[in-house]
Structures are given as structure tokens and as C-alpha cells.
């Protein structure tokens, strides 16, 4: 499934079920809770990690929809931007960006 379709279907489900579609701050809070649940599933080596990561994605798509963001286009643009960046290790061995190429 592509990102645009997932964003549309997730939004349609939120509307159909009567979930939050207007309170952006609340949605950020719920997204944060889902990230925490995914982290907990990972730490405990629980089988629900994939499901929790899917929840994170769905809350993220809702935030995009609430703010008129075409998440598929933004992800593609960011992947392209990241691919052009150049990194090197500094004197402490930390990887740092040295160019946006």
C-alpha cells in the first residue's frame, strides 16, 4: 500500500469512527503515546512491535491530513534530500553532516 492511500484510508476510518479530527495538539500527544507503546513493545521483545509501529504511522498520517500535508510527497522529498547529504566522523568519532550536496 502506498503512503497516500494509507493516509486517505486512515483519515476515512477516523471520521467514520468519530475519532479526533480537529485537535492537533491532542493528536501529537496521542502520537507520542503510540511511540512510547512501540518502544515498550521493543524493549520487552513483545510480538506487537509491528502493530505498534503501524499505530505510530496512522497517527502520523492523521496529523498530516489535519494540517493539509501530502505525506507521500514530503517523504519522497526528504528521502531525496537525505540521499544527497554527506556525513563524516568528527575528532570524537561522532557522525556529523558535512554537506547537503
Question: Cell triple for residue 94?
Answer: 561522532
pLDDT, position 66: 96
List the chain pLDDT tens, one digit each, 101 residues: 999 999 999 999 999 999 999 999 999 999 999 999 999 999 999 889 999 999 999 999 999 999 999 999 999 999 999 999 999 999 999 999 999 87
Q: Tell me how far apart the alpha carbons of residues 48 and 67 are, in angstroms, rounded to a whole number.
A: 29
Q: How far is CA 14 from the centre of its chain?
A: 17
The predicted pLDDT at position 29 comes to: 98
3-99 maps to which CATH number? 1.10.287.1080
In the chain, domain spans:
3-99
Q: pTM of the entire structure? A: 0.86
CB atoms within 10 A of CB 69: 14
Amino acid at each position: 500500500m502506498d503512503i497516500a492511500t494509507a493516509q486517505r484510508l486512515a483519515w476515512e476510518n477516523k471520521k467514520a469512527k468519530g475519532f479526533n479530527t480537529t485537535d492537533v495538539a491532542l493528536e501529537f500527544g496521542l502520537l507520542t503515546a503510540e511511540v512510547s507503546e512501540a518502544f515498550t513493545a521493543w524493549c520487552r521483545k513483545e510480538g506487537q512491535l509491528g502493530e505498534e509501529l503501524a499505530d505510530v504511522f496512522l497517527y502520523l498520517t492523521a496529523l498530516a491530513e489535519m494540517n493539509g500535508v501530502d505525506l507521500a510527497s514530503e517523504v519522497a522529498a526528504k528521502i531525496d534530500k537525505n540521499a544527497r547529504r554527506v556525513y563524516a566522523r568528527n575528532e570524537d568519532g561522532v557522525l556529523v553532516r558535512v554537506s547537503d550536496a
